[in-house]
Chains A and B, each alone.
Chain A
């Protein structure tokens, strides 16, 4: 039973699993380049447009180069109630870019996101996969300094 399980779940499914391959490529390259996507299409025997369709569907996958650190500030309602707009403007001021942009030195990208499940200590944000909560303008500069 266990041998069968290996073949059906781990090997066959995983190798042919487009989303897993995209997540892996994103992790390795930092973003999904056209070249990476067409190579993936070829190795899986599917069209580039299918690969592109999945790549653009998910907000944690990016088809454009991104900063080393992607800041995702929550704009969900519970965070709004705790003045997330002030947090957003202090981040904009600190790194000099608007949501959707990347700093010229390629260090930070800034994005707004919906509820990230930390509303009990709102306002909250993710930097890559790290969670930061209870944000204030003052804490923002301290936190950003820890990302070199």
Chain B
């Protein structure tokens, strides 16, 4: 299955600094078309398309919009989550740098559909170098008179991994520490400044103009039963052609990793960043979809020279650092697991450590407050299941050194 460019269709085609080049490829036709429809019709089209959120959670986009449209409130907001933080993800950077206009158009359509008069792009601190060109793009759209009753502002993040989580992100826009809130209420009813708010990922919003132009049927003709359209993947690690690739959802992992990115001698692949899944080579035919594995589309490839204990150790170190500390299972659990893996890395782990990690994993999955803590055991459990040999050889190292 070759690449299929929907979200990335203009990347490398238009000049991201010039709105004229975007208008030349049907730019803002979708917004005009949407304005000729009722907001309810626009929402229905998005619902019919089957588009689901591309930030990792996969919530149906049209349903989110409908909830916000129907929620009472004088002021409503659209937020574009450009706080791409999943380790190994860089697709949003690529999109923001190469086609800011289709994102702005998608946001304007969302604003029209839910009845918002204000939109924010929350740009992660690390992407500050994109701020200037985004401002210029928004200015050009405004000058063309294309932002009617709706305006867009960029909010520059200040460096906090947890702000990619939507409730923390809203706190941050409000000027506070970004903390995960207990839910419900959800943002579509009570979001930014307690007003109805739609938060969509960059890639989700990029799909909107194409859905409006080509129709829901065209869009849901691509993909699987529950995963419609395409997905943009960020491929890095042990591959000869790292980069951003877009494929129809449901395409096999192998096509992406070996076919497009040119990987050889693959041992394992981490899908969906630090809290994602680790799959061994013999699962390379797994389809990339919401039904199977997806996340935000980070694909990190490890070849046969890698030891999974080292990989998982680094991953858990990261998660222990980034745990916000609000709930005990995540704060303590990630810390303890990182410590155990440290021992394995030094060749001092034993069977009891493995049992402990398995027990802790169960507790965290059941009782952690947010997705980070619930998914933090994934790399540990997956590696224990598929690469137990890597752990065992670290135990043997210890026996070897004791015998000496």
Contacts and interface: CB of A to CB of B under 8 A. Distances in A.
B300 A77 contact: yes
B88 to A, nearest CB: 5
Nearest to A115: B87
B151 A5 contact: yes
Contacts of B177: 53-54, 57
A117 B84 contact: yes
Interface residues on A, range: 35 or more
A131 B314 contact: no
Interface stretch (A18-26, A92-100, A102-110): A18-26
A115 B157 CA distance: 15
Interface in A11-45: 13, 16-23
Nearest to B241: A120
B124 A81 contact: no
B302 interface: yes
Interface string B278-306: 00000000000000000000001010001
Q: Is the interface of B mostly helix, strand, loop or mixed?
A: mixed
A12 to B, nearest CB: 10
B235 to A, nearest CB: 8
Contacts of B89: 115, 117, 119
Contact of A78 (B124, B151, B172, B300): B300
A121 B117 CA distance: 38
Contacts of B356: none
A116 interface: yes
Interface in B77-95: 84-90, 92-93
B159 A81 contact: no
A19 B175 contact: yes
B314 A113 contact: no
Contacts of B322: 114
Interface stretch (B5-13, B125-133, B219-227): B125-133
Interface string B76-115: 0000000011111110110000000000000000000000
Interface in B310-348: 311, 314-315, 318, 321-322
B175 A20 contact: yes
A80 B318 CA distance: 12
B237 interface: yes
Interface in B217-274: 234-238, 242-244, 270, 274
A116 B126 contact: yes
A117 B90 contact: yes
Contact of A17 (B126, B159, B174, B318): B174
B88 A9 contact: no
Nearest to A17: B175
Given A23-B158, A120-B242, A9 B149 contact: no
A20 B122 CA distance: 13
Contacts of B160: 57-59
Contact of B175 (A9, A16, A78, A116): A16
Given A54-B177, A59-B159, A119-B300, 12 more contacts: A1-B149, A17-B175, A21-B175, A58-B125, A58-B159, A60-B125, A77-B87, A77-B300, A77-B311, A78-B236, A113-B126, A114-B87
26 contacts: A1-B149, A5-B117, A5-B118, A5-B151, A9-B118, A18-B176, A19-B176, A54-B175, A58-B159, A61-B159, A77-B87, A77-B300, A78-B87, A78-B88, A113-B126, A114-B318, A114-B321, A115-B85, A115-B88, A115-B89, A117-B89, A117-B90, A117-B92, A117-B93, A117-B124, A120-B234
Interface of A: 1-2, 4-5, 8-10, 13, 16-23, 53-54, 57-61, 72, 76-78, 80-81, 113-122, 126, 129-131
Interface of B: 75, 84-90, 92-93, 117-118, 124-129, 149, 151, 153, 156-161, 172, 174-178, 193, 234-238, 242-244, 270, 274, 300, 302, 306, 311, 314-315, 318, 321-322
